[in-house]
Amino acid sequence: MTVVLVINSGSSSLKYQLIDMATESTLASGLIERIGGERAAIAHRAAGEKHEREAVIVDHDAAFVAMLRNFAEHGPSLDDHAPAAVGHRVVQGGRRFFGPTVVDDAVEGDIEELIPLAPLHNGPNLAGIRAARRVFDDIPHVAVFDTAFHTTMSDASSLYAIDREVAEKYRIRKYGAHGTSHKYVSEATAEHLGRPLEEVRTVVMHIGNGASVCAVDGGRSVETSMGMTPLEGLVMGSRSGDIDPAVLFHLHRKAGYDVPALDRLLNRESGLLGLTGTNDVRDVTRRIAEGDEIAETGMAVYVHRLRHYLGSYLVALGGADAIAWTAGVGENSAEVRRRTLEGLEWLGIELDHERNETRADGIREISTDASRVRVLIVPTNEELEIARQSLEATGLAG
Ligand code: AMP
């Protein structure tokens, strides 16, 4: 049995999943939250049971000790299911990492060097890698970058129209994000259609609390809506997405907003939350049904931006074979999918309303049988994709 341990390390959290690669099934998963806080919440799922406790977890090293204790107490035993590799999610790979990379000290150094481009993410990702390498010191560790899938984008789609020297000096360009999910979903879509990946053009709608659209042509990302950071693009749970940059000058001059205040406003207090007071599409949808006009307007702005990107990416691809919805909103909100695809029959996009409203597990089609563009729901699985890429990078894949 080949087993891979997948690690997603945030600033105050550690998520893990142990995956059996023969069946691509999860043997155990866990989440340790509030690392460095007064009491950390520790959860471990294995064999259909959830085990929870609280403890003081001072740093990522301590979090790994807690994870090992979870496996020892609740199983499966890591002696019987020893991981062949550890796969780590890393958000920013810059123009340095184009695919999954086996970690050594030099790679750690390069990830550290990229911290200024993703200050909230790469530091915690690296802390997780360092702690994991201390605990599992005799197996390969692989860094899987969220940006890597988008390194196929052309200069035309990834350069910003600012002074070239300034852009180069400060490495300002579109890197995109959610790449691991966009790759997984576009490949699963081609497989579902029963067509070679090279021939399939897909618009992937990864719509969760964070959200991005990606135009995938023959397995290659050609456009994506997140930018140098995850702030650009769609209206998200609490991020504004696209905005006239002069709004920031205005808020600074007229209202005295400094950089931390602007950062907080656009990243944490905007999007659906800013527009409606809640970042959860379920609440917004319920309020719309009750006749709440603020919720209706918020949803209208949200959907308008989705349609803007969908239209743009259909042009970029010269038409599409499929539109694939994924992540929390994409997989679950019939309302968002219906509003986004409404009136697009002239483009060959025909939603089957009954299929769209029917809840089910797994990959499924929600377009009519006559629809030229197939519309799918494809549950994403970033952990599995990280595990697959980790095995590939170590040469352990079959
Ligand atoms: P994610 O970031 O992918 O975990 O997505 C989380 C978001 O998905 C939540 O904030 C909700 O807005 C949305 N969501 C989750 N479940 C549902 C549902 N049943 N209907 C509509 N939206 C949902």
CB contact burial 4-13 (16+ within 10 A = b; e otherwise): bbbbbbbebb
- The pLDDT of residue 381 is above 90: yes
Establish whether the linkage from the previous residue to 76 is cis, with ω within 30° of 0: yes
Residue 359 pLDDT > 70? yes
In a domain, 15, yes or no: yes
Of ligand 1's atoms, which has the minimum distance to the CA of residue 281? 12
Asked if 146 is an active-site residue, the reply is yes
In a domain, residue 216? The reply is yes
Domain identity same for 14 and 136: yes
pLDDT > 90: percent of the chain: 97
Helical pair 281-289 and 293-317, crossing angle rounded to 10 deg? 120
- State the residue range of the domain holding 30: 3-149
For residue 367, which phi and psi values (nearest 5 degrees)?
-90, 165
Q: How far apart are CA 29 and CA 33, in angstroms?
A: 13
Q: What is the pLDDT of residues 260-298, one digit of tens each?
A: 999 999 999 999 999 999 999 999 999 999 999 999 999
- Residue nearest atom 9 of ligand 1, based on CA coordinates: 280
Angle among Cα 283, 185, 273 to the nearest 5 degrees reads: 25
User: Are 107 and 393 within 8 A, CB to CB?
Assistant: no
For 361, other C-beta atoms within 10 Å of its C-beta total 8
| Same domain assignment for residues 224 and 354 | yes
* Lowest-confidence region among 115-119, 244-248, 359-363: 115-119
pLDDT in tens, 74-92: 999 999 999 999 999 999 9
pLDDT band at 345 (very low <50, low <70, confident <90, very high): very high
- The pLDDT tens digits for 40-50 are 999 999 999 99
99 in the same domain as 199 = no
Task: Give the span between the Cα atoms of 249 and 391, in whole angstroms.
Answer: 47
Token pair belonging to 71: 């496996």
The residue whose CA is least distant from atom 17 of ligand 1 is 332
Mutational pocket test of ligand 1: of 333, 337, 378, 380, the residue with most ligand atoms within 8 Å of the beta carbon: 333
Using the 3D structure, point to which of 134, 149, 164 is the last residue of a domain.
Answer: 149
Q: Average pLDDT of the chain?
A: 97
Do 144 and 198 sit in the same domain of this protein? no
- Could you tell me if 219 and 361 lie in one domain? yes
Kindly tell me if the per-residue pLDDT of 38 is higher than 70. Answer: yes
Q: Could you tell me if 131 and 268 lie in one domain?
A: no
Give the Cβ contact number of residue 297 at 10 Å: 13
Domain end point (choices 83, 114, 149): 149
- H or E element, residue 364: strand 364-365
* pTM across the whole model: 0.96
The tokens describing 315, both together, are 């042009």
Percent share of the chain, pLDDT over 70: 100
Q: Is the pLDDT of residue 374 over 80?
A: yes
Are 104 and 202 within one domain?
A: no
* In a shared domain, residues 329 and 216: yes
Total domains present in the chain: 2
- Assess whether the C-beta atom of 278 lies below 6 angstroms from ligand 1: no
User: Are 229 and 118 part of one and the same domain?
Assistant: no
Structural domain contains residue 387: no
398 domain residue, yes or no: no
3-state helix, strand, coil in the chain (%, to 5): 40, 20, 35
Q: How far is the CA of 273 from the centre of ligand 1 (A)?
A: 13
Residue 31 class from Cβ within 10 Å (0-12 exposed, 13-18 middle, 19+ buried)?
Answer: middle
Residue 96 in contact with residue 151, Cβ under 8 Å?
A: no
- The verdict on the CB of residue 238 being under 6 Å from ligand 1 is no
pLDDT for 1 beyond 90: no
Cβ atoms within 10 Å of 82's Cβ, excluding its own: 13
Question: How much is the average pLDDT of 160-165?
Answer: 98
**Burial letters 127-146, b for 16+ CB under 10 A, else e:** bbbbbbbeebeebbbbbbbb
- In this structure, are 93 and 198 located in the same domain? no
281: CATH: 3.30.420.40
SS3 of residue 91 by DSSP = coil
CA dist 187 and 214 (Å) reads 13
Q: How far is the CA of 281 from the centre of ligand 1 (A)?
A: 6
Q: How many CB atoms lie within 10 A of CB 38?
A: 7
Looking from the CA of residue 285, the nearest atom of ligand 1 is: 21
How confident is the model over 2-30, as pLDDT tens digits? 999 999 999 899 999 999 999 999 999 99
In a domain, 280, yes or no: yes
Query: Among residues 61, 105, 138, 146, which one is catalytic?
Result: 146
In this structure, is residue 167 part of a structural domain? no
Atom 11 (ligand 1) nearest CA = 280
So what's the pLDDT on residue 17? 98
What pLDDT is recorded for position 398? 61
163 occurs within a structural domain: no
pLDDT of residue 201: 98
In a domain, 235, yes or no: yes
Q: Cα-flanking dihedrals φ and ψ of residue 119, to 5°?
A: -60, -30
| 134 and 256 housed in the same domain | no
Q: Are 135 and 207 within one domain?
A: no
**What pLDDT does 119 receive?**
84
